[in-house]
């Protein structure tokens, strides 16, 4: 996977959109996660957002 694909899957997984890699092929789910990812400017912001999502599940 490319770094962009990894980031896409990580965000989709944490957001509860993806349960497996196969879910990235879903034409309804993929664009939703793309929109979420577009709002994140850099890798550090993605890292912070993923950490925030993890804290919410605890």
Model confidence at 22: pLDDT above 90: yes
Q: Rounded to two decimals, what is the model's pTM? A: 0.81
Q: 8 exposed, middle or buried (CB, 10 Å; 0-12, 13-18, 19+)?
A: buried
Tens of pLDDT, residue by residue over 5-19, are 999 999 999 989 999
Domain boundaries, the chain: 3-57
Q: What tens digit of pLDDT does each residue of 30-55 get? A: 999 999 898 888 888 888 988 888 88
Q: How far apart are CA 11 and CA 34, in angstroms?
A: 9
């Amino acid at each position: 996977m490319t770094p962009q694909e990894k980031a896409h899957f990580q965000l989709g997984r944490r957001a509860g959109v993806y349960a497996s890699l196969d879910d990235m092929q879903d034409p309804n789910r993929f664009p939703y996660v793309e929109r979420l990812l577009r709002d994140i400017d850099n890798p550090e912001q993605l890292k912070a957002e993923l950490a925030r999502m993890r804290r919410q599940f605890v």
